[in-house]
Structure 1
């Protein structure tokens, strides 16, 4: 299955793209997606563990099973004051 992923803020800057897609096996989880992201974008390896993955606009745990029709986003940590 093909999963489209949007990258936001610092994740976008580190990857050098606002969106990308990954070919994953049916039944792949958010954990599998994280591994695919790091393989394709090594610049995210130390950063991705600090990011949340949103699936259909809700944060998803690493064991969440993905489908091709879901909207996926990489949400970096936010700071401010």
Structure 2
């Protein structure tokens, strides 16, 4: 199982800050979380996704992944 942490607007849309997931690829994970948390459909494509601390924009096999962070764009000044 892989722990997925959602931050800021992604956590609000998912209705949780953290969950355990069993998908075996990043593409499958994205599809599954959108299916289970439809409010993520507009947010997830804009989020940075870090797999074990490394930003990943494409697909990736998650067999050994321990932690995925979903970080929406942040604004600040």
TM (norm. structure 1) is 0.82
Q: CA deviation at 1:68?
A: 4.6
- Equivalenced residues, count: 77
The residue aligned with 2:5 is 6
CA distance in 2, matches of 1:17, 1:51: 16
Q: CA deviation at 1:30?
A: 1.3
What RMSD, in angstroms, separates the aligned Cα atoms of the two structures? 1.4
Q: Deviations over 1:15-46 (max 9, x none)?
A: 1211012232xxx3212111111011001011
The residue aligned with 1:35 is 31
CA distance in 2, matches of 1:21, 1:35: 15
Q: What are the ranges of 5 or more consecutive residues in structure 2 without an aligned counterpart?
A: none
Runs of 4+ in 1 over 6 A off after TM superposition: none
Q: CA deviation at 1:78?
A: 1.1
CA distance in 2, matches of 1:56, 1:75: 13
Secondary structure of 2:34's partner? helix
